[in-house]
Amino acid sequence: MAKNKLSPGMIALIVIGAIVVIGILWFWGSYNGLIRADETVNEKWANVQTAYQRRIDLIPNLVETVKASAAFETNLQTQVTSLRTGLSQAKTPKEVNLLGQKIESAINLVFENYPQIRSTENFLSLQDQLEGTENRIKVDRDIFNKAVRDYNVKVRRFPTNIVAGMFGFTTKEMFEAAEGAETAPAVNF
């Protein structure tokens, strides 16, 4: 019986072939891992941009709503105070009756069309929305910075840095606050 023995040349060829296949698989995995990490960074930055857009879309509208509500209530309080003052200064029963009817009409109009005075609620809601929006932005920036860190580690770590250098993958900058960003923006009413 003859045994099938592999010749030393055949063994060397199999080993070289296995090394080449492993190298190709490693190269392929490294390249695809860099692509995935790069796209993750892009996605996370897009999430930060979405949070910025939400802030731009939401906050001015909320501020205007609160301003309108507060102006309505201020006007209402001014009218009622003026009517009460007039009532206390009325000299004839006819004037008292006329001012009393105006006060009653104003109160009925308010309670029919605007049953609850809400400016305090609106200010609290605005405050909650501002806080929530800024928290979302901070969370998205933190997630972006983590994705950049993970990507940068891949680009710089040996031996993946060889593939990164061959295909132009370079490190990315993390989010950094703009000059003066430590000063909170003013919300004016």
- Kindly report, residue by residue over 13-48, the tens digit of the pLDDT: 999 999 999 999 999 999 999 999 999 999 998 888
- Kindly report, residue by residue over 147-159, the tens digit of the pLDDT: 999 999 999 999 8
Summary mean pLDDT of the chain: 81
pLDDT (0 to 100) of residue 116: 58
Total domains in the chain come to 1
Q: Is residue 12 part of a domain?
A: no
Q: Is residue 7 part of a domain?
A: no
Hey, how many other C-beta atoms are within 10 angstroms of the C-beta on 41?
21
Residue 58's domain comprises 29-166
Q: Is residue 24 part of a domain?
A: no
Which residue stretches of the chain are H helix? 8-89, 93-113, 119-156, 160-166
Q: Is residue 129 part of a domain?
A: yes
Greater model confidence, 96 or 37: 37
User: Would you give the distance in Å from CA 122 to the centre of its chain?
Assistant: 21
CATH of the domain at 149: 1.10.287
d(CA 132, CA 127): 9
